[in-house]
Amino acid sequence: MAEYLQRYASAVQGGVATNLSSQLNRLFSNIGLPADEIDIFERLNAKASSLPMFIKVGVPTGPIGDIGKIIERTGTSTSMMNALLASADRATPERFNIKSQGYESPVNSDDPFDIDVPQNNPQRSNIGISSDVIVYDFDDWIEQVQATSDNLATLRQGVETGFYRAGGERIPGELLTVTDEHYISNLKLAVAAKARDVTISYSQLLNNEPAKRLRDINCYSETFMYKLRKHTVNEDSTLELIGEFFFPNTELSRIIEYVDSQVKYGETYHYELLGYDIVFGSEYRFRTDAFNSSGGNWSESTYYNQPLFYSFNVETLSDLKVIEYPIFSRRYADDNLTQATTVGGLSYPNVTIVDRPPVPPTVFIHPFKDNFRQVMMNFQVMSDSLTTEYITLTDGEEQVFQSISKIQKIQEDFKLQRNQVQFKNEGAEEIKRIEVYRSEEINPNPTSMQDLYNSFRNKLHATINQDDGLDIVDTLNPNVTYYYTFRSIDRHDQPSNPSQIYEITLSYSSGVFIPKISIYNSEKAFVENKKPTKKMSRFIEIKGADIQTLVNEQRGPDFELINSEKGFIPDQENQITANKFLVRLTSKDSGRKISFLIDFTER
């Protein structure tokens, strides 16, 4: 016990961090899951919502083969995982051509919103890469199952004693028993029997005769293990490996949903999925039976009447290898492609741990009795969520919101449109402060909401910290109209969109005090530039004027056509295709209104 405590104190002296950077976490950077406990994730994932932050990674599993079934039923998956780690120093890299299928699209990989353009819809495509893969010798690997000690931390469902034995699987540090030895011996016999059944003989190779139960001349193989590698992404986009997780192929789950709670806010992670295949190859041993040769002492002009022949005996031997191959990996990148195409969908996207920006606060503004210079503002943090276009109020926020929008497009909502962000309050305790923006001027004819709120750009008037109470007494000059908007800032310094605009005037004249506090009608500002009202009976036709739609032809002295273009408006900003129009219809009987926002496109 004393030795254990001493080792523990030595391991954690640098601190145990959530990003697996401490000595203790590096000690258990390789984590495996026994086959009989693969359904542990189904039980644990139901509680994932209670975690402060996590990443859920889907690991799709392929059909399990005969060898995988034996490993699962004999409870030797833990030993197999340990053997992979123990024999890693004896594995060799070899160059392979790897084929897969992905989705091809002419988009910029740095801009996930390009995929929304109709002409960029992805199409399924075949892909081939040339890449080095790790190859283990099967005989050497299987011997390690009996020789190695555990260097793999194993996830298990705990009971009162911390661990329990189920399905024959060993727990960390447990020695091989006689039963384990029996299972591994049976596994070796089963692999040898399978090899005799599927190994391609030399005669089959020459005659191109498909082996039993094979569609073509390819070697038989089956995936029996998966490895999920976890990296942190540095500022220069390079990867730093911080952990590996091993999963046996199993019949219990088609998709393993692994929840990784060892993550840090603001950190970017990248996951890579690798598979381990047992490949039943063939080795051919040639022995010369008989031959007749001239010894090379003749030329084309020399007549040689003796038969020339060589007779060989060819022995077919099983050549078993364990190959580590990429499933979802950055290796499917441009520099490894064997053809001139860029294909996506073959690697996990980078995952950044960020929360949603908050929603704006609700504000209550109260004037004081007989005080024409001050108002009281009370704020309430709202529990709400919405998806809308972001609005910036300071320089540099555009890049911040663009980054959040891209992350949410990839990780949260594939339907998110460009310049949109999901806003949601995670709780009142998450709000660190309220920002108050004030302006004495406002754009009377804005073209967009961003244009309207540019009236408050870089005009931060006051800041109210959560710890100081969510209220403020503000001083105004009488008979001056002020415009206010407010933002919530969470504890990660992410701003909300600005609130509604409040218009405040404290009118005072000859001892008469009249406070005027109202919400600014921004909709009126957008429709200020409108045509006179027209009556209609049943139908309405809305189209561009002739000056916008007729063809403008320029001709030479002999009336030859020099140039032609649509419309007579040279200024791009005044063309109808560059503007939006709001048309409002009012019923003469009921007074009810209906509005249409019209956007013209050129065909």
Domain boundaries, the chain: 16-299+314-352, 362-525, 530-599
pLDDT in tens, 232-263: 999 888 899 998 888 888 777 778 888 888 89
pLDDT at 540: 79
Token pair recorded at residue 42:
């189904």
Mean pLDDT of 553-569: 73
φ, ψ of residue 39 in degrees (nearest 5): -80, 5
Asked if 548 contacts 576 with a C-beta cutoff of 8 angstroms, the reply is: yes
The beta strand positions in 381-418, using DSSP E, are 385-389
Q: How far apart (Å, rounded) are the C-alpha atoms in residues 23 and 21?
A: 7
Short-list 223, 210, 233, CA closest to 274:
223
pTM higher than 0.75, yes or no? Answer: no
**Between 82 and 172, residue with greater pLDDT:** 82
Is the dihedral angle over the CA atoms 79, 81, 82, 88 positive or is it negative? positive
Say if strands 30-32 and 153-154 run parallel, antiparallel, or are unpaired. parallel
Residue 262 falls in which region: left (phi positive, over 0), alpha (psi -120 to 50) or beta: beta
Confidence at 25, pLDDT banded by 50, 70, 90: very low
Least confident of 148-152, 292-296, 385-389, 459-463: 148-152
Token pair recorded at residue 596:
């249409």
Least confident of 16-30, 54-68, 572-586: 16-30
Does position 502 have pLDDT exceeding 80, yes or no?
yes
Q: How far apart (Å, rounded) are the C-alpha atoms in residues 85 and 159?
A: 28
Helix (H, G, I), strand (E, B) or coil at 243: strand
First to last CA, the chain: 81
Confidence at 334, pLDDT banded by 50, 70, 90: low
Rg of the chain over Cα atoms, rounded to whole angstroms, equals 36
Q: How far apart (Å, rounded) are the C-alpha atoms in residues 433 and 522?
A: 26
pLDDT at 166: 36
Over the chain, what is the mean pLDDT?
78
Asked if 500 contacts 485 with a C-beta cutoff of 8 angstroms, the reply is: yes
The maximal CA–CA distance of the chain, rounded, in angstroms, is 136
Which residues, 6+ apart, have CB-to-CB distance to 258 below 8 Å? 41, 56, 57, 58, 59, 228, 245, 247
Helix (H, G, I), strand (E, B) or coil at 183: helix
Q: How far apart (Å, rounded) are the C-alpha atoms in residues 410 and 351?
A: 9
Helix (H, G, I), strand (E, B) or coil at 594: strand
Token pair recorded at residue 306:
């003796």
Whole-number Cα distances in Å, 395 to 143, 392, 423, 494 = 64, 8, 20, 14
Q: How far apart (Å, rounded) are the C-alpha atoms in residues 542 and 201?
A: 77
Least confident of 11-25, 197-211, 331-345: 11-25
Amino acid identity, position 502: Y
Which residues, 6+ apart, have CB-to-CB distance to 291 below 8 Å? 309, 310, 311
Superfamily of domain 362-525: Immunoglobulins (2.60.40.10)
Least confident of 131-145, 265-279, 311-325, 364-378: 131-145
Q: How far apart (Å, rounded) are the C-alpha atoms in residues 138 and 278?
A: 8
Q: Which parts of 12-161 fold into alpha helices (H)?
A: 23-27, 40-44, 66-74, 77-86, 138-147
DSSP string, 487-542: EEEETT-PBPPP---EEEEEEEETTEEEEEEEE--HHHHHTSS-PPP---SS----
Helix (H, G, I), strand (E, B) or coil at 44: helix
Whole-number Cα distances in Å, 561 to 29, 550, 551, 557, 566 = 74, 16, 12, 10, 14
